[in-house]
Structure formats: C-alpha cells, structure tokens
C-alpha cells in the first residue's frame, strides 16, 4: 500500500536543489543533503497539516500566445504550496497508476502507419477548451468517493478543490494539472480502444488521432456518445476535425490519400499532429515508388511559434541592446544544446539530454520549412537594422550544429520567452 502521508520524509522525495533555489531558500553547506532538506520538509509538513492551510501563493497570468489563463506558484510565498502539490501529484499518479503519452512514440507509430498498407479513415480532432470545461464538482466527488485514497489525502484534496473554485474549470500550469486531466480522460481512452474497427488510437493531452475502418459519421457519433459519461459530460469536440481517407492502388500497391478538400486538388494531402506535418501522396497512379515517399516536416503552427520567439528576441534587443545575448538567443533557436532534465523540450540522445529543433523533431526528413524561417529572420534583422550576419544563424545550416550553453546562460536566454 502506497504511503500517502504528507510527512517530512515523504515531502523530502518531492524536494530537490532546484526547488530550493526557485523559492530562494538557503542551504546549510555544513549539513548533509538529507539534513538540509529535512529542515525544510519538517516545516512544510507542519504548515500543510494545519486546518487553515489553503494553498497560498498560486497566481494566474494570461498566456501571450494562446490567450488562456495559466497558473503558477509564486517563488516567495508558495514553497509549502509547491511541495503539497508535488506530493499530492506523486500520490495520485502512484495510486491510480497514471502515466502520460510519449509524444515521440506516438509520432513514430503514425509515421509507420502512413508508410504501411493501411486503408480506412483517419480522423484528427481535439477537445474544445478542455481544461476550462472540466466539471470540478464531478471530478472532486469521484476522487473523494474512492476508498483507495487516505483520509489525509482527501483532506488536502478538499482544500485544493476549494481553492480551484476561484477559477473556471481545471487550472492549467500547476504540477498536478496534467495528472488530473489524465484522470478525467482515462476511461474515455479505454472505451475508445474497445470500439470495433479502431486500428490505432492516440491522445496527447486533448489532441486525438484515430485510424479506423469506420465511416467518419459513425466514429464521430461513437466518440460523442462516450463523452457523455459522467466525468467528461460537458466536454465537446472542436468542429474543425480533419478527415482523410486512405486507399491502396492495386496496380502498384502504393497507398494514396484523399480528403473532402483535396479530391480534385493537385496539392498533396497533409495532416498536422504533435508538431509534425505529414505530407501524403494523393495521386492514384505513380510513375515510380519514390514519389509516394512520406514527407515529414515541422508543422506550420510550430514554425510560427519559432518566428514569434525570433520576433520577441529582436524586440527585447531593441528595448535593451545586448548584441551577444541576441546572438545567443538566435543560436539557441536554430541549433542544438545540452539541457538539464527539468527543461520541458529536452530529448535524450546518446545518454545525454539535448534540446533544439533537431532533437524535438527527430523524425523530420524534409527541412523545407526551415528556409521560410531563414527568410523571416533576414527580413526581421534587416527591417530592425541590427548589425549581425543572418547567415551565421541560418536554421537550415545550423540544424545539426551544437552550442555548449551553461545552465545560467540558458536561463538568461529563455527569460524573454517566459510567457510566449
């Protein structure tokens, strides 16, 4: 049975040096690591167990890019809240055996299917404003009715949900947010996989892709019916789903694809999912097999996000000129670099953690969109009259180049993109 207590010893498992630094807490260099941490976790355990503890230090901000409300824990006043959320998150993940989808594994499977002889319907859709539309009362009741949770865990959960009532839906950005979102949708996932005719199903947060042998209207009706379950009631799919039909040309046994928009179009069919754009063959007859090869690019949405970061870096330079910092930011965006494990876009490569476009999107076999990034960079630098050579920061040329930034320098580099 999992120990669910919020004891100093258990809180110790959720504490590390980075958390102490973030909350500006001093370490006694003369004490052992265990004793340094125990001093803080003992205080935290005492505070969290008090009746008046109400998760102080949580604040909200509007995300510049998505315009959604996101929440975080303040550095100065939120240490006890941070530890309580991390411990609660650890408990829920352990008790309910909650795991998260592997973005790279999903993308590899999708790539393999597109290169196979799959025939049927492919549908990509997402849940509309998922976090904002989760019914917190239903979620709270389901969790608190579960006998697997200890009384202490339920007391802390009640306080958390009391705090959540100040917000609409399930707050984004907290350490426990993704765990609760997976808990909400885990029965949804199970029921979809049980539908006859499903060939492959994957969900990453609220983005969904399905390969099936069913008609679009049939699978859509099934999905909407499943969403009517108690825990997911009130959630809706966005109307802009994408549907593609996969067939096989029996003459040369090559796959080809069509959609409502591209039946008569000469342009290839494409579908974006998890940052990748898969460009598919839509010609029934091929002069050679090379033409039917799958192209995998970075999606337009992700390219636009990089462009925005370039723009922000230049605006920050114009506001407070620091040419070396601007250069490092452009190198950071266009190349690869070593990362520490807490950085969310990191990827493992040769037992070393690395980041950058090459390691965030390792399946790419077509770098054409990077030419557009280079043109954008040239245009922005030229318009702003910044005295640097854009060739030095070419996304296409630097795709495999490596920079050895220190952890401190990376913090300076990414500061301007905090809410981008």
Among 132, 272, 281, smallest CA distance to 209 is for: 272
Distance of CA 389 to CAs 279, 323, 337, 394, Å? Answer: 33, 12, 21, 9
Identify whether the C-beta of residue 314 lies closer than 8 Å to the C-beta of residue 286.
Answer: no
pLDDT tens profile 95-148 = 999 999 999 999 999 999 998 888 899 999 999 999 999 999 999 999 999 999
State residue 134's pLDDT score: 94
Interaxial angle between packed helices 177-193 and 216-226, expressed in degrees from 0 to 180 and rounded to the nearest 10? 130
pLDDT tens profile 229-242 = 988 888 999 988 88
The answer, yes or no, to whether residue 24 has pLDDT greater than 90, is no
pLDDT interval class at 352 (50, 70, 90): low
Which pTM value belongs to this model? 0.87
What does the pLDDT average to over 305-331?
Answer: 96
pLDDT interval class at 27 (50, 70, 90): low
State residue 269's pLDDT score: 85
State residue 283's pLDDT score: 59
State residue 252's pLDDT score: 58
pLDDT interval class at 264 (50, 70, 90): very low
State residue 31's pLDDT score: 55
The answer, yes or no, to whether residue 344 has pLDDT greater than 60, is no
Among 71, 88, 82, smallest CA distance to 22 is for: 82
Spacing of C-alpha 119 from chain mean position: 30
Most confidently modeled of 225-239, 282-296, 372-386? 372-386
Question: What is the average pLDDT score of the chain?
Answer: 87
State residue 418's pLDDT score: 83
Which is more confident, 386 or 267?
386
């Amino acid at each position: 049975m999992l120990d669910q207590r919020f004891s100093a010893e258990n809180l110790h498992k959720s504490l590390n040096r980075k958390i102490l630094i973030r909350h500006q807490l001093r370490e006694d260099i003369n004490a052992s690591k265990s004793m340094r941490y125990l001093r803080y976790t003992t205080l935290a355990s005492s505070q969290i167990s008090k009746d008046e503890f109400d998760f102080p230090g949580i604040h909200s901000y509007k995300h510049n890019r998505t315009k959604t409300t996101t929440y975080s824990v303040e550095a100065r006043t939120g240490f006890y809240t941070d530890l309580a959320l991390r411990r609660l998150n650890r408990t829920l993940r352990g008790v309910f055996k909650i795991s998260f989808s592997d973005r790279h594994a999903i993308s590899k499977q999708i790539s393999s299917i597109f290169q196979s002889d799959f025939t049927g319907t492919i549908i990509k859709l997402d849940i509309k404003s998922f976090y904002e539309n989760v019914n917190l009362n239903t979620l709270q009741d389901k969790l608190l009715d579960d006998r697997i949770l200890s009384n202490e865990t339920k007391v802390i959960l009640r306080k958390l949900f009391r705090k959540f009532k100040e917000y609409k839906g399930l707050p984004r950005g907290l350490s426990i947010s993704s765990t609760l979102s997976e808990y909400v949708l885990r029965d949804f996932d199970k029921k979809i996989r049980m539908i006859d005719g499903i060939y492959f199903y994957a969900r990453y947060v609220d983005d969904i892709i399905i390969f099936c042998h069913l008609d679009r209207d049939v699978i859509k009706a099934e999905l909407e019916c499943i969403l009517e379950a108690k825990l997911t009631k009130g959630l809706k799919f966005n109307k802009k789903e994408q549907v593609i039909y996969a067939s096989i040309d029996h003459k040369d046994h090559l796959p080809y694809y069509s959609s409502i928009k591209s039946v008569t179009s000469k342009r290839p069919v494409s579908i974006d999912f998890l940052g990748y754009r898969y460009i598919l063959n839509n010609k029934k007859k091929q002069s050679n097999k090379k033409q039917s090869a799958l192209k995998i690019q970075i999606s337009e949405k992700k390219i636009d996000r990089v462009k925005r970061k370039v723009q922000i870096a230049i605006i920050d330079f114009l506001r407070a000129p620091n040419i070396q910092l601007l250069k490092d930011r452009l190198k950071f965006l266009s190349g690869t670099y070593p990362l520490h494990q807490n950085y969310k876009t990191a990827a493992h490569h040769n037992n070393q953690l690395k980041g950058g476009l090459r390691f965030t999107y390792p399946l790419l076999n077509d770098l054409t969109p990077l030419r557009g990034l280079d043109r954008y960079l040239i245009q922005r630098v030229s318009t702003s009259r910044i005295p640097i050579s854009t060739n030095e920061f070419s996304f296409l040329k630097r795709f495999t180049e490596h920079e050895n930034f220190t952890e401190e320098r990376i913090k300076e580099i990414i500061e301007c993109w905090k809410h981008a």
